[in-house]
Structure 1
Amino acid sequence: MSPEPEGWTFAASTFNWTPDIIAAEREAADIVCSIVADGVTETVELEAGSVWRSFPSPADAEVDALHESLTAVGGTVSMVGLSLDDYTATLRPRSHDERLAFLSPQLRAANRVGARGVRLPIGQAGHRLLDDLLPLLEQYDLTLYEEIQGQQAPSSPPVTAALETIDSLASDRVRVLVDVSLLMPALPVSYLERLSAAGLPPDLLSRLDSEWRDPATGDAVTAFLRSGGVPASIHTLYMNLLIRFGRSPVDDLRGVLPLIGAFHLKFWDLDDTDARVSAPLADLARLLRSSGRPFAGTLTSEWGGHEWLDGVDATAVTRAHLALARTALA
């Protein structure tokens, strides 16, 4: 018997298998179907740009083939991660009509593959585009989730403005997806080890290890970046400290709960030292149960650690993470 409350659906994102998809030793569709066939989960979240070669206008035949293959192994699609390229190939900003036209084929594909939702970054669409997307969302029976993650704290002006826009639409067709990278009490052990191996100063490493949620640590991260001291080999990786790793407390979500329809259970590795992986999930479970509003939605395992971890089996790590998540959320 499933331990999760009624209305909770656990899923896995195909993003976890990004290295396998890039390696292209198997077709992307075969990798997606193996997630279900190998018993990791029955529900998957697709990244449109990585699973369909015909993206950004997915061909019906390619979409239908994936749908049929997934159905054959007992799988379903929770949502599809869309892409909204705001610039043309000549770097000209897309007009409103061009933005709508860019998304329309992806919505059609999400419907054909059997998805219940689609996803965009918080605030990217904007009020006018959301207004014009609503009829398409109705037509295709989809919910659009705008995602907040990392350092996009709900109280920050851009996120607050986007949340107010969603609320003003007064439509269940547009909801919020929260990535728990927003709630990190500490940094991933494997990430700190990678920074250490690259030669980051011991004093900064110590602060990152023990004082991640201290605002002064954020100031130190920015100051070191501006000093030019970040080794070139980890410059991109270092930017996670400014973008992808958040430090918000779970109570910051309390006022947003009525708008939340899904969660990304982001993890980077499974080293749960000081409960750095499980604590945000346990805190989230307490918040959901104390809200007085039963949560019904998808909780999706999403692994970001393949950015710096090589040779890790995505199937094994995702299966282990879902087990950990179920325990923490219970």
Structure 2
Amino acid sequence: MPTLGTTLFSLTPDWRSGAGTTRLLDRLAAAGCGPAIEVVGHQSWRGFPASSAEDERAFRDAVDRLGLQPAALGVYTDLHRHRGRSLTTDEALADLLPQLAAAVRLGFPLVRATLGMQPALLRRAAAAAERLGVVLTFELQGATSPDAPAVRDVVELQAASGTPFLGFTLDSSLTTPALPHALDTALTRRGLSADGVAAVHAAWAADGPVGPRIGRALTAVAGLPREPELATLAAGVLGRCGRSTPQDWAPVLPLVRHAHAKFWDPDVETVRAPHGAWLAALTEAGYDGALLSEWGGHELLDRDDADALAVTRAHHDLLSTLLAQRTAVPA
């Protein structure tokens, strides 16, 4: 059965207010939001992946002291950091390798990367991860489809190599019954009318690929004084609220090595049904890795609207209930 935990990304408001990594680990453990943890490398340590030996030792000491379990380290390769050109395969690999090595030093068995590596880079990155003994996963989230080329690339490489060090991080945002209420709040605060908010919802609910649906949403915010902010919000959230089902992903589930239970609204009851469905699908597929609470509402709401740790604690209670219900189901 999955092990519950939290990604420290959920506590982004605390990062912004100056809290350090070990302080956040203390708060998570005290709130009972472990034992599994995910950390985003570049968010957590200055100079990552060249973080100091002192910082790395403090992290490992805190994990041991608090009884936490490092589950995943978020790694990123910015392919477009140079104006006018993308990184070459050699440059991108050189950027990624120190992050994989940092994961090993910090005690993480797995890293979570962004889906979409080109095949040449994917092959070399997977081989490097296997040499280091760290599992390389790519996140499936939002409007990603099971037949997307980037998904097929990972599936085909894993099938050809048979390596256990390559797979996916599954994010429950693949199944989103409705856009979050928090988005309405964010759009309204930035000057979008009730009719405009309704138009964004209608665009998301329309038939067809996500790209044209996002385009329709952007027309609802066009010309407004805060159009850039509104457009970023609308496009970002619509692209991360998928409408597939666990059944759509059944062939891929054996390759899931890590999982996020993503939610946006402080009212955690809004995700009871989709999170229950994903938990059922994962356990039926034999998944026994980490299932991490991930609150994205801090991207849409002010800190005074909701306390990130309190919301996470409520979400943990919900996940615990759903997991207990799965355990009680007769075989």
So what's the TM-score if we normalise by structure 1? 0.85
For 1:223-277, what per-residue CA distance to the aligned partner results, in whole angstroms no more than 9, with x for missing partners? 24146256424222111244221111221111211211221101111325xx631
Output the CA distance in 1 between the equivalents of 2:242 and 2:308. 24
Instruction: Measure how far apart 1:46 and its partner are.
Output: 0.5
For 1:293-318, what per-residue CA distance to the aligned partner results, in whole angstroms no more than 9, with x for missing partners? 42121111111110121223222111
* Selected match of 1:253 from 214, 235, 249: 249
* Selected match of 1:263 from 259, 262, 266: 259
Structure 2 counterpart of 1:234: 230
Moved more, 304-313 or 240-249: 240-249
Output the CA distance in 1 between the equivalents of 2:115 and 2:104. 21
Output the CA distance in 1 between the equivalents of 2:238 and 2:204. 12
Does the C-alpha gap of structure 1 residues 115 and 100 become closer, same or farther in structure 2, counting only changes over 3 Å? Answer: same
Q: Which amino acid aligns with 1:254?
A: A
Structure 2 counterpart of 1:18: 12
Structure 1 vs Structure 2 CA RMSD: 2.7
Structure 1 counterpart of 2:46: 53
Q: How does 1:84-123 map to 2 (within 5 A)?
A: 84-89=77-82, 92-123=85-116
Instruction: Measure how far apart 1:282 and its partner are.
Output: 1.5
Does the C-alpha gap of structure 1 residues 229 and 249 become closer, same or farther in structure 2, counting only changes over 3 Å? Answer: farther
Asked if the contact 2:112–2:136 (Cα under 8 Å) also holds between the matched residues in 1, the reply is yes
Does the C-alpha gap of structure 1 residues 41 and 115 become closer, same or farther in structure 2, counting only changes over 3 Å? Answer: same
SS of residue matched to 2:261: strand
Q: Does 1:285 align with 2:279?
A: yes
SS of residue matched to 1:255: coil
Q: What stretches of structure 1 move > 6 A for 4+ residues in a row?
A: none
Asked if the contact 2:176–2:274 (Cα under 8 Å) also holds between the matched residues in 1, the reply is yes
Asked if the contact 2:199–2:217 (Cα under 8 Å) also holds between the matched residues in 1, the reply is no
Instruction: Measure how far apart 1:197 and its partner are.
Output: 4.5
SS of residue matched to 1:176: strand
Output the CA distance in 1 between the equivalents of 2:287 and 2:155. 18
Instruction: Measure how far apart 1:67 and its partner are.
Output: 1.1
Q: Which runs of 5+ in 2 are unaligned?
A: 326-331
Moved more, 14-23 or 231-240: 231-240
For 1:143-178, what per-residue CA distance to the aligned partner results, in whole angstroms no more than 9, with x for missing partners? 111111111121334433443344333211001111
Output the CA distance in 1 between the equivalents of 2:198 and 2:81. 44
Does the C-alpha gap of structure 1 residues 326 and 37 become closer, same or farther in structure 2, counting only changes over 3 Å? Answer: closer
Q: Which runs of 5+ in 1 are unaligned?
A: none
SS of residue matched to 2:186: helix
Structure 2 counterpart of 1:133: 125
Asked if the contact 1:44–1:77 (Cα under 8 Å) also holds between the matched residues in 2, the reply is yes
Asked if the contact 1:78–1:116 (Cα under 8 Å) also holds between the matched residues in 2, the reply is yes
Instruction: Measure how far apart 1:321 and its partner are.
Output: 0.7
Instruction: Measure how far apart 1:36 and its partner are.
Output: 2.0
Asked if the contact 2:169–2:257 (Cα under 8 Å) also holds between the matched residues in 1, the reply is yes
SS of residue matched to 1:62: helix
Q: Which amino acid aligns with 1:258?
A: P
Does the C-alpha gap of structure 1 residues 160 and 202 become closer, same or farther in structure 2, counting only changes over 3 Å? Answer: farther
For 1:46-97, what per-residue CA distance to the aligned partner results, in whole angstroms no more than 9, with x for missing partners? 1000111121333333222211222122222111000112245556432222
SS of residue matched to 1:215: coil
Output the CA distance in 2 between the equivalents of 1:133 and 1:253. 24
Instruction: Measure how far apart 1:43 and its partner are.
Output: 1.9
Q: Does 1:300 align with 2:292?
A: yes
Structure 2 counterpart of 1:244: 240
* Selected match of 1:143 from 127, 135, 138: 135
Asked if the contact 2:264–2:296 (Cα under 8 Å) also holds between the matched residues in 1, the reply is yes
Structure 2 counterpart of 1:63: 56
Q: Which amino acid aligns with 2:47?
A: S
Does the C-alpha gap of structure 1 residues 250 and 189 become closer, same or farther in structure 2, counting only changes over 3 Å? Answer: same
Does the C-alpha gap of structure 1 residues 83 and 294 become closer, same or farther in structure 2, counting only changes over 3 Å? Answer: same
So what's the TM-score if we normalise by structure 2? 0.85
